[in-house]
Structure 1
């Protein structure tokens, strides 16, 4: 997705809201992880779809913060976010200090959850249907079709790998575009031209755009 610079970084209210939610999110994530063990690839995606629909139905009533809290433990549990963060940094990952790796990985997860909280924010009769499942050893492909109220459909093709006793999402393909590959192209371009601090600033700016309703 294109970067949209914001006028300022995260407002204090947003930062405090996120920090206050961390103990709750940690507890939810632990519970969700336990529930996720033993789920099939299709059941893993169905769990995500149900949570997305809950966020959409909650819409303005939940607000950005409420949708974020709802989505965080599920995304943190069923996405291979640490792998995805490393992959997206490309060759630059090995040059990060341990502190930078932690800072970047946390920002990547927050950015990912915030993107879902911003995009899946209203419900108009949409539904998800699992339309294809293909499992080959420790890898699987699951297609979830979103049908909109006007009858138009969008296919979300999830790539999963069996890790840590459960199936984890490693990539999503939408309209033949790998979201992981697109993110890697964007991130490595910024890291190559402007460096680590610039990428962290841009991620904070995206968080600001996503969470603007909190400061309105």
Structure 2
């Protein structure tokens, strides 16, 4: 299976801006129709939500916790602040519609595991990170884009935009934009290309995810 390079995963969920290299899994938004209304969170509340969430992530990155403890804490954040099931569905693209219910269930479960493994695999290497929040703006479907500047020890600062949705009733991160590129769109292309190269087989992706998990140290 091809290994893809992605530069946003830890930036998004650890607020560290660190460059990680992983396999085929990353984050993607599942854009709801414009008719779905966003909940009534004002800009100040969303900024505070991101500040609090970011502080929790940074505290994990900068802690002396074991990998197991860090993984457990990140899993809580992931489950609370990211709609991973919807993300997984979007990542499968057109192949979600042809997957059987059992394939869908198995794929989503594997997606959760690969995602948390990828986030926590190298956290211990990157202590000393910090961040600051910049401007907030409204984008399509009433979603919000919040800029952050990520400070990394002995490395240049980088700018990351967090795309937030409140369609579920509470804020959720649904996309990350770095270097003027939506990383979600790129990842969806990676998934669908992988499946297409393997005879349009969703099982091929499931097998690859299982192998990735088995190889995770």
Answer yes or no: same fold by TM over 0.5. yes
Q: How many residues align?
A: 176
Residues 40 and 176 of structure 1, relative CA distance in 2, 3 Å threshold? same
The match for 2:35 is none
Q: Does 1:131 align with 2:137?
A: no
User: SS at the partner of 1:152?
Assistant: strand
Give the alignment's Cα RMSD to 1 decimal: 2.5
Q: Which runs of 5+ in 2 are unaligned?
A: 5-39
The match for 2:160 is 156
The answer to whether the Cα contact below 8 Å between 2:162 and 2:177 also exists between their aligned partners in 1 is: yes
Distance 1:118 1:176 in 2: 26
Q: Deviations over 1:110-145 (max 9, x none)?
A: 222222212433444221111121245731001121
Residues 1-216 of structure 1: pairs in structure 2 closer than 5 A: 3=3, 40-58=45-63, 61-63=65-67, 65-135=68-138, 138-150=142-154, 152-194=156-198, 195-208=201-214, 211-212=216-217
Distance 2:93 2:46 in 1: 27
Q: Deviations over 1:39-72 (max 9, x none)?
A: 932233223322321221235x411x22221111
Q: Aligned-pair distance for 1:93?
A: 0.4
Distance 1:198 1:171 in 2: 26
Residues 202 and 45 of structure 1, relative CA distance in 2, 3 Å threshold? farther
The match for 2:13 is none
Q: Which runs of 5+ in 1 are unaligned?
A: 5-36
User: SS at the partner of 1:173?
Assistant: strand
User: SS at the partner of 1:164?
Assistant: coil
The answer to whether the Cα contact below 8 Å between 2:62 and 2:128 also exists between their aligned partners in 1 is: no
User: SS at the partner of 1:130?
Assistant: strand
The answer to whether the Cα contact below 8 Å between 2:83 and 2:174 also exists between their aligned partners in 1 is: yes
Distance 2:210 2:52 in 1: 28
Structure having the larger proportion of residues in helix = 1
